[in-house]
Amino acid sequence: MKIRVLIVDDEPIARERLRSLVASESDLETVCECRDGNEAVAAIRRERPDLVFLDVQIPELDGFGVVKALEGEKLPVFVFVTAYDQYALQAFEVHAVDYLLKPFDEERFQRALGRARRAIEAEQGGGVNERLLALLKDLQPEPRYLERVVVKNSGRLFFLRSDEIDWIESSGNYVSLHAGKESHLLRETMSALEERLDPAHFIRIHRTAIVRIDQIKELHPLFHGEYEVVLRDTTRLTLSRSYRDRLQTLLGKEL
């Protein structure tokens, strides 16, 4: 009987690589591929896979959110695919939940697969579930704000600290992070990213713009209750009337 595998990653190249590695194993079969967290939750409930290769940083609902959404249900064995830093990796190891750190080679894939096979063969689903929930508690003991963003660029991954971001604008299904003279595209929605940013440092001023508060230099009144926001790098943005109350609360005075 083959092990049913589900692959979750928002990058087509990453899904293709995992698909190829899975296809090379005679006892595995890929039953579904997903591009975001919401798709993953629905597919896991529908397909009932034995094993899920789950990217941690995916749109709509991240990898941890996928596991939390399935809390109380019978979970498959998860192998996280991640670009998290060393502290988080230690938490994975402590709880015996395996991971693949991007970029990974075939040897590392085989080691992770071996652990997954043993868990499935031993029917340790309950124990795996308990370790996953313990992992979530360790990594997210309380609501935490984003400290860094993993940016993918030309096949490379690098960390951008949140305190390096000056302002953010929406760009279709992506957001553009402006940091100094550089800008970086991240596949994320504005609303989802806003929830992860510390409101003591970032404020949304428009449907399409979030700014770092200490980068605001001037406010110029426009029409119909809107304002022009001038940043320290001379970038000019619009504070829309629907977001004005947030800035008023921050300033402690009416505009």
User: Residues in the chain, how many?
Assistant: 255
Distance of CA 243 to the CA centre of its chain: 25
Q: Of 137-146, 176-185, 222-231, which range is least confident?
A: 137-146
pLDDT at 164 over 80: yes
Q: What is the pLDDT of residue 95?
A: 44
What CATH number should be reported for the domain whose range is 148-251?
2.40.50.1020
pLDDT at 142 over 70: no
pLDDT band at 202 (very low <50, low <70, confident <90, very high): very high
Q: What is the pLDDT of residue 253?
A: 65
pLDDT at 21 over 60: yes
Amino acid identity at 204: R
Whole-number Å distance between alpha carbons of 24 and 113? 12
Selecting from 3.40.50.300, 3.20.20.150, 3.40.50.2300, 1.10.3720.10, what CATH number does the domain 3-139 have?
Answer: 3.40.50.2300
Q: What is the pLDDT of residue 15?
A: 94
- What is the DSSP code string of 146-213? --EEEEEETTEEEEEEGGG--EEEEETTEEEEEETTEEEEE---HHHHHHHS-TTTEEEEETTEEEEG
pLDDT at 156 over 80: no
Q: What is the pLDDT of residue 205?
A: 94
Q: What is the pLDDT of residue 88?
A: 55
pLDDT digits 0-9 by tens, 44-91: 999 999 999 998 888 988 888 888 888 888 888 888 888 766 545 554
Q: What is the pLDDT of residue 158?
A: 75
pLDDT at 43 over 90: yes
Rg of the chain (C-alpha set): 21
Amino acid identity at 249: T
Q: Of 28-32, 79-83, 95-99, 112-116, which range is least confident?
A: 95-99
Return the higher-pLDDT residue of 130 and 38. Answer: 38
Residue partners of 213: CB distance under 8 A and separation at least 6? 200, 201, 202, 203, 250
Q: What is the pLDDT of residue 85?
A: 60
Amino acid identity at 154: S
Q: What is the DSSP letter of 15?
A: H
Q: Where does the chain hold its CATH 3.40.50.2300 domain(s)?
A: 3-139
Q: What is the pLDDT of residue 235?
A: 95
Tokens read off for 239: 């504070």
Quick one: average pLDDT of 8-16?
Answer: 93
Q: Where does the chain hold its CATH 2.40.50.1020 domain(s)?
A: 148-251
pTM of the model: 0.52
Q: Of 8-22, 25-39, 148-162, which range is least confident?
A: 148-162
Q: What is the pLDDT of residue 20?
A: 96
99-104-109-110 Cα dihedral, nearest 10 degrees? -130
